[in-house]
Structure formats: C-alpha cells, structure tokens
Structure 1
Amino acid sequence: MAKENQIAFTRDENEETALHLLARSSLESCCQGMKRQVIFQLVKFLWQTFIFKSSSKNEIFEFIRNPSHLLFDAAKVGNFGFLSELINAYPSLILEMDSRDQTIIHVAVTNLHASIYSLIQEIGSQKDIIATMTDTEGNTLLHLAAKRAPESQLELVSGAALQMCLQLVWFKEVQKIMSPLKNSEERTASELFRREHAELRNDAESWMKSTAQNCMLISTVIATGVFAASITIPGGLDDKSGKPNYLKKPPFLVFAISDAVAFISSTAAILIFLSILVSRYAESDFYKSLPLKLIFGLLVALFSSITSMMVTFASAFFITYYYDSNRVPIFISAFAFLPILLFIVLQFSLWCDIMYSTFYCKNIFKPDKSILYVLLVEM
C-alpha cells in the first residue's frame, strides 16, 4: 500500500477508519456552511481517490463492511451528504443489504430520514426491486413505515397529535410505491400501523382535546370581555344627544372596529375548538382535518382575537385618559402590545411544528437535485 493511501485505510484501536467515524457523525445538523462542505470534500477525496479507484470490488465491500457497515451507520443518523458522495461514485451501493436484508432505503424509512428515502425516486426500475423486498421478518418497506418511529425522531415536533400526523405522512408516502402485502405475522401494513400507533393515537387525542379546551377557555374569556366593552362606551355619552362623546374621533373608530373583530374572531375560535372536541379522532383525522382546524383556530382566529382585544384596550385607554398630556396614554397604549409579542414568541415553536407537520413535511420527499439517475443509466 502506498504511503499516500494510508490516510484512508488506517484504522484506530477499534479497527475503524476515518470514513467509519465520519459516517456516524450527524454532519447534516452539527456542521454548518463552509465547515460542512469541507468535511464532505474530505469524504469525497478519501472515497474516490484512495478507496474506489485503487481497490477491487471485493476490497471495497470488505472495507465498508468492517468493523461495522458504514453505509448503514450513515443511514441511521441521516447522514445524507456522506451517502451521496459514496453513491455518486458507486450507485449500486443503494442495493447493498445488511444482516436483516434491509437496504439504506429501509433504514431511512425506519428512522424518518426523508432525504435518504428520496433516493428511491432516482433509481428507475430498481425502485420496484426495493419495493418488493422483504426483510428477515417478512416486513416490506410499507410495514417498516407502519412501525412507530424512534422517539428521537418523533420529538422533533411537539405534541402527540403532530407526531401522529408526521407518522401518517410517512406511511402514505411509502404507500404510493407499494402494494398491500402481509408480513410473517400475516398482518398488512395498515393493520400493523393501527397496532403500533394505538398508544400514540390515544396520546394524540388527549393532547388535542387538552389544547382545544384551553384555547376555547381563552377565547371565551376574550369574547366575554370585548362584548362587555362594546356596551361600555369609552369617554361616555353626550347628555343631550345620547351619542358617544368621541363618536367622530379616529380613536373611537379604531375602538369600534377592533372590538367587533375581537368578538367575531373569538367566537369563531370557540366554534373551531368546539369542532375539535367533538371530532371522532380516527387515525385519518390526524393527517389533515385536525391539524387544519388547529391552524385556523390557534394561528388565525385566536391570534386575531388577542391582537384585536389589545387594540381595543389601547384605543379605549387612549380615549378615556387623553387630556392635557398625551405622553402617558400613548406609552400605555403602545405597551399594551407586549402581550401580542409574547404570544408570538411563546407559541412560535408550536406554530412551526404545526406548519411543518401539516404542510412542509409533505414536500420533504422531493429531492432538490438528482444525484443518481444519470449514473445508474450509464452503468
């Protein structure tokens, strides 16, 4: 072995090479920007220059399989960049199987790594081979999608209902390329999904009901408050005409409009959250129906009612206490918007999780660019 090749083949006390160590590193999340690109360039350099071009086929597979299979190590942690560098040079590696007769596509489905699973869209007719494969337990790709994902992956979104939605998205995505088959336990994938996710479905129902009840309580309080404000005219009434004293003033118009919007939006929120509470909570409801109701109830109706309520308070305070000095009323009215900012900040992560589970995660299976198709055709 030439001295320049030793950097790629040198093993540590655990018989691991540099590529084996890099395979288990979560390069997609732990490194950013230029640093990540440099590491991927190193992977490409080690693989293509020293291993792929200077070794026989048997030597290559001996290298990647010992002491552990670096392809599957990378697939388990979602190291897509690492795998793309290896598969670019040797596309047939995508059909490599582990001791359980599973490919990296199977591992990607088990661990919810969409970027790796998306490679199946680029391998042409060989996709049918993977789609019909069964592992040592008789499970197809769809059966693996029906199993409950590792907690580390489910915890990427908050709330059992959103986790259930994420699992359903994966199941339906894999279902597009699969035909219904039974595993060694004579269970279809749908039956397996129902059994594996029974506890999560119950947790999702409890989470959704608790969230809806709490939000409906807040909406009810807001509706009660703004309704009372609508019949308590700020600034009083004119003794002679009985009209509001500030009827023609801009702050009064702001008060009237915001109070009406707050009452209407809070009432709409109550109805939306009520519809969540009386839902049947079937598995399919968590795929689209319930998340959409939560979006409109929490992100639209409740947020609008809280914002309008604070505008109502600010305008009413300004009308009532605006006399000789306008500094204090203006300051208090501006400070009234602090709860709106707090609501946005405190609920931002939940909003992101809802949008991700409901909309964005349905598009994560579309690769940004092709890395395999041309190479596979050429082989």
Structure 2
Amino acid sequence: MTDGEAEIALTGEETNPTVTEDATLSLYLRSPYTIEAIEKYYNQCLPIYNAALEGDWEAANSIIKQHPTVVRARITEGWETVLHIATTGKHIRFVKELVAKMTRSDLEMTNRRGNTALCFAAVDGTVAIAKVMVDKNDKLPEICGGNGVKPLYMAALSGKRDMVKFLYERTKVADWKECEKVKLLTTCVSTYLLDTALTLIEEYPRLTVAKDNNEETALHVLARKASIFAARNQPGIWSRFIKCENSMQTLALKLTNSLIKNIFDLHDLDITNIIKEAPKLLFAAAYSGNTEFLIRLLRGFPDLIWQSDQKNQTIFHVAVLNRDERIFNLLHEIGSAGKVIATQRDRNGNNMLHLAANFAPPCNISGAALQMQHEILWFKEVEKNVQPLYREMKNSDGKTPQDLFTENHKELMKEAKKWVKDIANSSIIFATLIATVIFTAAFTVPGGTNDKSDTPIFLNKRLFGVLSISGVALSFSTISTLMFSSILSSRYTERDFLRSLPLKLVLGMMTLFISMATMMVAFCTTFFSSDQHGLVWINVVFTLIVPVLVVYVLLKCPLLLDIIRSTHRTRTLFWPCKRLFDSHATCHV
C-alpha cells in the first residue's frame, strides 16, 4: 500500500462485491421507492443519521427505543451503520452508549467496501472509541478492512501513533504472514512510527532482511528519511532536547543500529548484495542528505565508501553534486582513501571538480550574490582536495572544470551582479542624503549664539554635549557611501563574490544603520535642547522617530543577517568533525 491507501481503503471502490444486501437492514432511499421505504427513511434513517453526525445521543436513543433494529441498519448508500457515522464524528459518549445496545456481531458489520467501524476509528486515530469497540468484541482487530488489510495497518498508514500502540497490543501480529509484518514495518518507518518499528525488529529479527511488495527493506526506507536525523545536527539549545530517550532522532539511531546488528547476527554479512539488488539504499541516503544514517552504515561496513552507482559516482561525488557538506566532510576522515576517491571519474569523464562546477540544485540561500558565493566556495574547497592535474583535466566534452564553472554560472553571475548593484544603488542614495543633512547640521549651533559672548545659548544645557554625536553620524555615513561606491566600481569577478563584495555589503549596511541611528539621536537632542515647553513633546517626537528605525531594522536586518551568516559559513562550512569513527562526536554546521 502507498501512503494514500488508508483513505482509499475507506472511500475507494467497492472491495466486497460478493456481499449481498439485506433489505430488512437497509433504511436509505433506493429503488423501488415504495411508500414504506420513504417512511422509514424520513422517520428512522434521516433522524438517526443526523443525530449520529452531531453526537446527539438523546435524539438517537429515542429513535432506538422505538426501532431497536436501527442500531444494525445500513443508513447510507455506502452501507455505513450508525456506528460508522458516529465514529467519523469522534463522538465518544455517543459511541459508548450505542455499543452498549449492540451485540458482538453487530460490531463486525462492514460497509460496502468491507470496512468495520473499527477501521474508521483506526484511520481517524480516536483511541477511546476504538477501545470501546474492542472491549466489546476482541476479534475486531483481526477483521480485515478494505483492500484486505487489518485496522493496525490502516492506523500505521495514517501515522496515528497512539492508535498503533493500542491496536498492536490487541492484535495477534505473531500470527501474521511475514509479508504482512514487513509491510507493517516499512510503513511504520515511512510514517515515522519508529517506536513500533523498533518493537517489530526486536520481536521479529528476520524482518531486517525481508522485503515488502516494493522490493525494499526497512533500511531502504530509513535511508530516505533524512528529516528523522536532522535535529541531531542542530546546534545550541536543541541539542539538549534531542537527547531524550524517546526522541525521534534517538529512536532512529537505535533502529538503524538494530537493523545493522541484526544483519550480522543473521549471518547475512554481504550487504553489498542488497545494494546491488536495490542500489537506492546507500545512494538514497546520499541524495537525501541522510548523513547520520550513512555514518552508521559505514561504521558497520567500511568498504561501502568504494561503492559506485550506475554513473560511476561515489557518495562523495553525490555530496558534491548536491552541495551536502556534512557528507563531503567525511572525505577528510578516511585518510588516503579520500585522496583516491577524489580522483575517480564518472562515465562522462567528469572528475569531482567537474561536478562542483555544475549548477547546484535549489537551496535556501537568499539572493543571487550569496548563491554565487556558496557556489564559488564549494568549487574552491573541492579544488583543494583534487590533485593539481585534475584541475586542468578535460571531460568527455573537452571542458576543464573552470570552463564548465564559468559556463554553468553565467546567468547566476549576471543576476548576482544586478542584485549587488541594486542594493548598493538604493543604499548609497540614503547614505548620501544622511551625510548631506548631518554635514549641514554639524556646523549649525542649535538656538544660535549669544551676541555678547559669542557662545552657544544652550551651552549649559545637559543635552548640549550630546550634539557632538552628529560628527559620528557624518563619519559613518561617509564610510557607508565609500563602501557602496567601491561596490559599484568593482570588477565583479568570480573571486570578488567569495568575500570582498559580501564584506563590503555588510560594512556598508552596518555603517548606514549606525549613521541613521546617530542622526536620529542628534535630531532629538537638538529638539529637546531648544524646546521651551519642557517634556510635552517628548512622546510626540519619539512616536515619529522610533518607527523609522524599527521599519529600517525590519526591512534590512534579515538581509544583513543573511549576508553575515553566509560569509561566516565560508570559514566554517568545511570543518572536519571526526564523526565517522567517533560515536560521541557531533558537528554543528
């Protein structure tokens, strides 16, 4: 079953065409439309349907007292009973009262598609409702629903963790066929129910090497689930929480370790055979960026570092293509083997540096210039790891890595140049305007001078000394103007986008913000020092001034932080973390 098949099992085509309809238990309108059928519909079917849908037990109970057989009647064209409808509405009290009036066999009634009410509860995930039904009839978990699957499997497909735990305890999984068990296992991994998957592996170790109907083992599915392991690489406060015994990341690592250990215990040591039959195990992890999974796999089977795919590319070549620094950094941890792997060429004659010259897949980096910076950084890093001969080597198309890089990034270079120029042009106007205003204000004495002593009238006021801050504003606005002028006159070479232009942008934007802030302070100081009405205007002035700074921060700070973060990453992105053979090592990238 695929991820949507739980819903298909409930709402798809009729799966039990051999079941015949009992007219005495059907209240919905159908041909022939006899007077008796119409009366039953309006007097019994419609009222109890609405009551079940709304959870109105008092209204439903009054109908049941008059017509006791309505509890087992089919009240929709899909053959749903009152219990089916109440279950979809999640009306726990209604279901509890209704089940008390039903027999064990009543609970086993299926709709046209072969689903019992428990199947509806399993997909919906309301454990309290499922418990009421199973307590009344413990055979319900063993009754297959649509597409011939049991409620436990439906709950797993829907990702209902609490329901899966409940039904797992009430279902005789030991009696299932191996194909059913492995399908449940791979489904639990797919829907992140790792605690149940771990329980299955512990109870049935042979499931480790068993394949589902998609010819995949649990390891194949887990290899694609990079998001399960993602939080383990998160720095800071998150690392305190992910160490929880039952966290998703901890369970994922336990499951991976258990699966690999079981392969050894089952004497099925040649995992390469599994990879040859379904090569997506190792390379699905590489393409999805599942570093933690790869590390566990390589610890158990170190020879896998030499494994190549159909393009004759290793996981490190894939890491370069996908710009996955966490996997690429493992190259530094395997010693001289890394140097050998770096010399490998794919079927098109591309070495690792050629792959770094390809245009990267879409990423979360904002701004064309920062994307270009990231691309150049990768190219330079891979260039360090290949032999000098490979830097000038041509591929089957007769192109060197540098030729390929320039060709593939031509459009990005144009966009990056425009992006930087647009920021510089808009910012330099602002910086020049501030410099002009501050330059004039710097030589103007607030309140004028005393005609007799030729000293400033407000010289003795406490705020007068603060006016010197206008000189600071002038200095920073001048620096900002120079920075943006330097950007506009730049040659815009590839090397400039690595550090020169980003650093100038950071310096220009920071000095612009400081000059604007100090200009506002100087303005407020001038206003208050010359104000003759005390503090009456303070609130008014701050109400007008503060929003200007706030708006600037909200508009420019995200961009500034992106540039700072991206530039900082140029120094830390490729730090080796020594995680491959150290189980306690962590890396925060």
Answer whether TM exceeds 0.5 for this pair.
yes
Higher relative contact order structure (alpha carbons within 8 Å, sequence separation ≥ 6)? 1
Q: Show structure 1 runs of 5+ residues with no match.
A: 375-379
Residues 1:352 and 2:561 aligned together: yes
Q: In structure 2, do the counterparts of structure 1 residues 72 and 16 end up closer, same or farther at CA, with 3 Å as the change threshold?
A: same
Equivalent residue in structure 1 for 2:366, among 150, 154, 158? 158
2:113 corresponds to: none
- Give SS of 1:106's match: helix
Deviation for aligned residue 1:140 = 0.5
Please report how far the alpha carbon of residue 215 of structure 1 lies from its aligned counterpart in structure 2 after TM superposition. Answer: 0.8
Distance 2:532 2:578 in 1: 61
Equivalent residue letter for 2:222: L
Match of 1:377 in 2: none
1:316 is aligned to: 526
**Deviation at residue 213 of structure 1 after TM alignment:** 0.4
User: Counterparts of 1:150 and 1:98 in 2: how far apart (Å)?
Assistant: 19
Cα displacement (A) at 1:320:
2.9
Looking at structure 2, the residues matched to 121 and 333 of structure 1 have their Cα atoms a distance apart, in angstroms, of: 56
CA pair 91-340 structure 1, distance change in 2 beyond 3 A: farther
Tell whether 2:241 aligns with 1:41.
Answer: no
Deviations 1:146-194 (A, max 9, x none): 111002x2xx221111111111111111111213222111211111111
8 Å contact 1:119–1:372 — kept in the other structure? Answer: no
Higher mean C-alpha displacement, 40-49 vs 99-108: 40-49
SS at match of 2:385: coil
Is 2:343 the counterpart of 1:132? yes
Paired position in structure 1 for 2:216: 16
Counterpart-to-counterpart distance in 2, 1:248 and 1:184: 81
Change (3 A) 1:352 1:43: farther
- Are the equivalent residues in 2 in contact too, given 1:269–1:297 (CA < 8 A)? yes
Superposed, 1:1-379 pairs within 5 Å as: 4-27=204-227, 28-29=229-230, 33=242, 34=244, 35-58=247-270, 60-151=271-362, 153=363, 156-178=364-386, 179=388, 180=391, 181-257=393-469, 259-299=470-510, 301-321=511-531, 323-324=533-534, 326=535, 328-329=537-538, 332-333=541-542, 336-372=545-581
Counterpart CA distance in 2 for 1:268 and 1:38 is 51
State the partner residue of 2:147.
none
Q: Distance in 2 between matches of 1:318 and 1:21?
A: 68
Structure-1-length-normalised TM-score: 0.88
Q: Percent identity?
A: 39
Residues matched between the structures, number = 367
Give the RMSD, CA atoms, in angstroms. 2.5
TM-score when scaled to structure 2?
A: 0.58
**Given the superposition, is the C-alpha separation of residues 364 and 240 from structure 1 closer, same or farther in structure 2, using an over 3 Å criterion?**
same
* Residue 10 (structure 1) shift: 4.5
Question: Can you give the 5+ residue segments of structure 2 that lack an aligned partner in the other structure?
Answer: 1-177, 179-200, 233-237, 584-589
Where 2:374 maps in the other structure, the secondary structure is: helix
Name which one, 1 or 2, has greater alpha-carbon Rg. Answer: 2
CA distance in 1: counterparts of 2:276 and 2:559, whole angstroms: 42
Question: How big is the shift at 1:330?
Answer: 5.9
Deviations 1:304-323 (A, max 9, x none): 21221121122122223363
CA distance in 2, matches of 1:293, 1:230: 27
Contact 2:357 2:402 in 1 (8 A): yes
- Relative distance call for 1:77 and 1:177 in structure 2 (3 A) is same
